[in-house]
Structure formats: C-alpha cells, structure tokens
Structure 1
Amino acid sequence: MKRRVFALTLALSMVLLAACGPKGEDNSSGNQSSSTGSNSDMSTMAPDGSTSIPDSSAPDASQPDGSGSTSSDSSQPPVDEPQAQASLSLNRSDFTLFKAGATFQMKAKADPAGGALTWKSSDESVATVSDKGLVTAVAVGNATITVTDSETGLTASCIVRCNWEEQKPEEGGPADGSDSSSGSSSGDTSTPAGNVDLSAFASDIMGQYEFGMLQLLDADLMEQLYPGMGAVSAEQKLIYGTLMTMNNGEFGLVQVKDSKDVDTVKSIFQTRIDGMINGGAWYPEPTRIWTENSRVVSNGNYVMMVVHENCDAIVDAFNALF
C-alpha cells in the first residue's frame, strides 16, 4: 500500500515538473536583463505563498504617471507673463477759453507712474502752459498742448481754442448776484445782434469743469426744482440739475423772449439757491458751496445761474459771449 502511494506521488511530481519546469526557465532567462542589480530590488515570496514588493520599487504616486520621472516637466518651455502696456492720457482732448488770462488745469495720467512730465504749447502767443499743466489764454487762436512722459517717451496732446471778440471791451453782469439787476436794466443795449448758442456754451463749460452728476432737466423736473420756470416764455432754456442728495452744484442758462422776464428768471434762480443754503443741500460741504460759490448774472435777455468752485471764471466766460 505504501509503495503504491509513493509511486502515485512520484508520478504526480513528475507530471507537475514537466508542466511547470520549462515555463519557469523561460521566465528567468527572459527577465535576466531586468533582474540584474541589487537583491533589495527583487520581490520576495513568503513561506505562505504571498509576494511582497520592496518600498523602493513601488511607483511614486506624486508623479502624474507614477514613474517618478520629471523629464516631461523639464521639457516644458517657461511661460512669460504678459507685460502691461504703457499709456499716457489727458483729462481733455479739446476745450475753449473765452477770455485773455482765463486758465484751465490740464491733468495727465501715466501708467506706469513716476516719470517726469514735460508740458509744451505749440503757440505761446495764443496759449501758454506751465510745468504743472496750467493753460493760460493769451490771444485769439488755436494751440496744441503736448505732454511728454520721460519714463516711457509717450506723448499726449490737447487742442485749446481761445475765442473772444478782441475789438469789443469786456462787459456784463458782476460776479455776484447783488448788482445783477443793473446788468438786466441795460439789457436792450447789450443784447448781441445774433443769438448766442447756449447749448454750445454749456457743452464747453461742462467740458472744462467737473460738475458731477448733472442732467438736463425735463419740464416736470424743472418745475419741481425751479417752480415757475416752466411758465417763462424763452428762446432757450437749459437747466442742468441733480437729484442726488450730495448736490455740489447746478447750472442754468435762459434766453427770455421778453426782457421783462429777466428779473423773473433771476428770482427763480435765487430762490433755488436760498433753499439749498437753508437746509436743501443737507451736508456741510454742499451747503458751503451753494453759499460761497453761487452766482446769478444777466446780460441783455440772457440769464445764467452757476454753482461751482470756479463760478467766477465761468461768469467771466459768460460775459465774454456778449
């Protein structure tokens, strides 16, 4: 019995050896080149038949492909960040001065900042410019004001138009409203032969000076803010107001058809100013502006109200129209 069991065991061993032996030899020879090296890189088999792989041979999970290679990263060319484009601009591209000696402050914005700015006038017999950008009217004509940035070499330019009647002496209402009635009393003699385009004048003034959030009032809003103005018969009627609580100024221009209405318009304007001074402006700074920098003037059938820090310069420009 024992011999039979031994024979069967021997036969089974021979069969297994015949089936597995050549395949193991092929694998060992085929892997000969890849298995050379340190024994620490070889996998080991435990007595229970399980296989373990040394940590040094495990793939690096931190690499995208698990290979641990950084060759693909080093082959990528460096990416250049986009460079900001230099620029130079002015607060105006075109403006008008209505009187010799009138001034306007030009402002330049440079990016990057830090370079020295050089100002130049193309014709100093018409208009001059200071090293701070202050333009002064000299004589009737046009000139180009140019600023150059020493840092970038960029330039920006603006046209200044000096426009008034040299042969006619200055005349018109005073800078404050106290004596403005005398201007209206002589209105028939001072009215120009041709109409003054108040819309063009308003555009020039609001182009030169910052007025904030002004809008041309329609009939309903005009009557709310300037009661009685809608009933005045006028050739031209332009009232620029704001509905914001922080009201730093307004601007009104009216040409009446009948000179008798000049005082009516001036009274309406003054009522608006008084209301803003006495609580309507709400805040301290707007109240100060309405108190110190409000003007109502007239010339012939033309009446202007202006509330602005540069009110006197605007009054001069208005008077220069006639």
Structure 2
Amino acid sequence: MKYRTYARFAALALSLTLLTACGPKEENDAQSNPDGSISSSQGSASIPEQSQPDLSLPESSQPDASQPDASLPDKNQEDSENPPVEEPVAKKSLSLNSSDFSLFKVGAAYQLKAESKPEKGTYTWTSDNEAVAKVSNKGLVTAVAPGNAAITVTDSKTGLTASCIVRCKFEADKPASGGSASSGSGSSSSGGNSSSGSGSVSTPNSGSVDLSAFYSTVTSNHQFGMLSLADANMIKDVYPGLSDVKTNQCLPYINMMTMNSGEIALVEVASSGDVDTVKGVFQDRIDAQVAGGAFYPSAIEAWQNNSRVVSKGNYVMMVVHEDCDAIVNEFNALF
C-alpha cells in the first residue's frame, strides 16, 4: 500500500517537472473539438487569412487608374512628332504665246493666245495705242499704222495681267498693189517650231510681193512643225500637177514629221489663168490628207478643220495651222 502511494506521488512529481520544463502551450495550438473538428486558439481578426487578398491595397496585376496608362498612345505627343503636312498651293500664272512680234502691212494680223494656271477666267484684251494696233476680244491683233503698241490681257479669275509689244513696221503712204481676190476652203491644224529647207526659189519681180519674206514673217509669228522646202521631186509626189504650172515664185513648205499637222505653200503664177489650177492642186493635197494620208486621227482632224486655200491676184496660198484664219488675214494684208 505504501509502495503504491509512493509511486503515485513520484508520478505526480514527474508530471509537474515535465510541465514546468515544457512551458505553457502556444496560443495558436489547435484543439480538438468534441465533434472531431479542429479549431485554432489563435483569434486575432485583424490579420487576414492568406487565401483572401487585402482589398484595401491594389493588386499588382491591375493598373492604377489614377496614373496614365503607358500602353496607350499620347495624342499630344503624336501630334508634336507628326505635325500636319500642308498641301502645296498651286502657283498662279498668266502668259502669252509671244512677248514681241512685228506686222508689216496695214491690216496684217497676229493671233495672241493666253494661258492661265491653274485655272482661267474671262480674258479682257486692251491696246495702249489703238491708232497703231487694235486687238479683238479674242486676242487678234491688227496693224493700223506704223509704230509700237502694248497689248495687255487680264484674267478675271486671278486678276493677273500679261503684256507683249507689237511693232508695226511699214510706210504709211506705201501704195497697195494686187488684183481681185477669190478664195477656196479646205481643212486642218498644227504647232511647233519652224525651219526651212533648201529648194529652187524664183526671185520675185520688181513690185511683186516677196513670198519668201512673208513666209519668214508667218513662221516667226506662228509656230509650225519642222517645215522643209520641197524640191522638184517632192513637188511631183506631194503636189501632182504643180510642176506643170509656170510660176514666178513657188514655195511649198512640207512638214517632214510623221504626224504631219502643219503646212504652208505659197505660189505666184505667171498667168492668172493658172490660179484655179494651183488652187485645185492644193485642195487635192488637203483631201488626200483627210482621206487618211495624215494617218493619225489628230492630224487628220487638223487637216479637216484648220486648212485654207486663198488667192489674191496671181498669188495663191494653202495653209494648214490652228491659226489659219489669222494667217489668211496676214496674207490678204500684203495686197
């Protein structure tokens, strides 16, 4: 009995010793509940569980709405880096096809042409000396008396002006010569610079009109293609029948370019009875070109619409040019 009592005390003392050595249990030690579940003795509600995010702090995966999003382009920065490109403004201009030309007879005419860029309005033409040269509302300048005049065109759209000088070089009291006129009609047009070739040209008689000088005047006032004076063989091919007519002056200038859209032929016959023959030869030339000889549609149209055959006394002219009517006026003014 004593031994059992001693053993119990010894066991109790050992238990107290062990309890003292181990100390108190941690507050967060788990305890078993009667229903078998485990509960924690740690109860601080101020610390959130790790499985739930703290909503008071923004997650690192979500952008802060208070700061600009660097992933979106800054429009102001783009505008500064790429300034708007200004469209170039078309330069306005007004020009004439000639700045200085001469007329050698009362009634001689020259067709001025104006060009506006980028657009045109209505043109107004004026002469500062109508006693010397007049100008129509279409830009046709006509010589009145010896002297100089300035022709000016004004564009109503742009307000720009362009001017040129006309020099009327002739004697006011020089008598006119020549005979009655008869005219024919044909067709066609052209453009370009002119040059003359070589050929056999008769020297005009004293008192006759110098057709070579007239050709030089015409081709300086009106731009043709590359013209060449036809020789005897070419005259037979291009103007069949012309070589059979006796002439004092025979100057057929042919356009040597493939697209033949400009030509002029000037003839003074020895006998007035051959005037109609020469006019017929010239008309045949026009008809052949219109029928397909000119080949290109634009050239055919030019021969059809801008050609003329005219005569004054023993003088006959065929001209194919866009300024054909102005050239006819210059031809008539020779007589």
Structure 1 and Structure 2 fold alike (TM over 0.5): yes
Match of 1:96 among 77, 102, 114: 102
1:173-184 → structure 2 map (5 Å cutoff): 173-176=179-182
Assess, with a 3 A threshold, how the Cα gap between structure 1 residues 280 and 304 changes in structure 2: closer, same or farther.
Answer: closer
Deviation of 1:88 (Å): 0.5
Name the SS of the counterpart of 2:280 in structure 1: helix
Percent of aligned pairs with the same amino acid? 42
Deviation of 1:121 (Å): 1.7
Matched, 1:79 2:94: no
Gaps of 5+ in 1: 1-36, 44-53, 58-64, 179-186
Which residue of 1 is the match for residue 290 of structure 2?
A: 281
Deviation of 1:166 (Å): 2.8
1:1-322 → structure 2 map (5 Å cutoff): 39-40=58-59, 42-43=60-61, 68-76=73-81, 77-113=83-119, 115=121, 117-176=123-182, 190-191=207-208, 196=210, 198=212, 200-208=213-221, 213=225, 215-219=227-231, 221-227=234-240, 237-241=251-255, 250-253=263-266, 267=277, 270-274=280-284, 276-277=286-287, 280-282=289-291, 293-297=308-312, 304-306=317-319, 314=327, 317-318=330-331, 320-321=333-334
Cα distance between partner residues in 1 of 2:326 and 2:72? 78
Partners of 1:171 and 1:320 within 8 A in 2: no
Assess, with a 3 A threshold, how the Cα gap between structure 1 residues 73 and 305 changes in structure 2: closer, same or farther.
Answer: same
Gaps of 5+ in 2: 1-55, 65-69, 185-203, 293-299
Letter in 2 for 1:216: S
TM-score (norm 2): 0.54
Higher helix share goes to which structure?
1
Deviations 1:29-66 (CA, angstroms, capped at 9, x unpaired)? xxxxxxxx9635x24xxxxxxxxxx6x69xxxxxxx96
Aligned-pair Cα RMSD in Å: 4.7
Assess, with a 3 A threshold, how the Cα gap between structure 1 residues 142 and 288 changes in structure 2: closer, same or farther.
Answer: same
Partners of 1:293 and 1:310 within 8 A in 2: no
**Matched length:** 247
Cα distance between partner residues in 1 of 2:309 and 2:270? 23
Which residue of 2 is the match for residue 7 of structure 1?
A: none
Letter in 2 for 1:68: P
Cα distance between partner residues in 2 of 1:308 and 1:75? 58
Partners of 2:211 and 2:249 within 8 A in 1: no
Partners of 1:270 and 1:296 within 8 A in 2: no
Assess, with a 3 A threshold, how the Cα gap between structure 1 residues 66 and 159 changes in structure 2: closer, same or farther.
Answer: same
Cα distance between partner residues in 2 of 1:68 and 1:177? 80
Name the SS of the counterpart of 2:182 in structure 1: coil
Cα distance between partner residues in 1 of 2:305 and 2:138? 26
Assess, with a 3 A threshold, how the Cα gap between structure 1 residues 312 and 149 changes in structure 2: closer, same or farther.
Answer: closer
Deviation of 1:126 (Å): 0.3
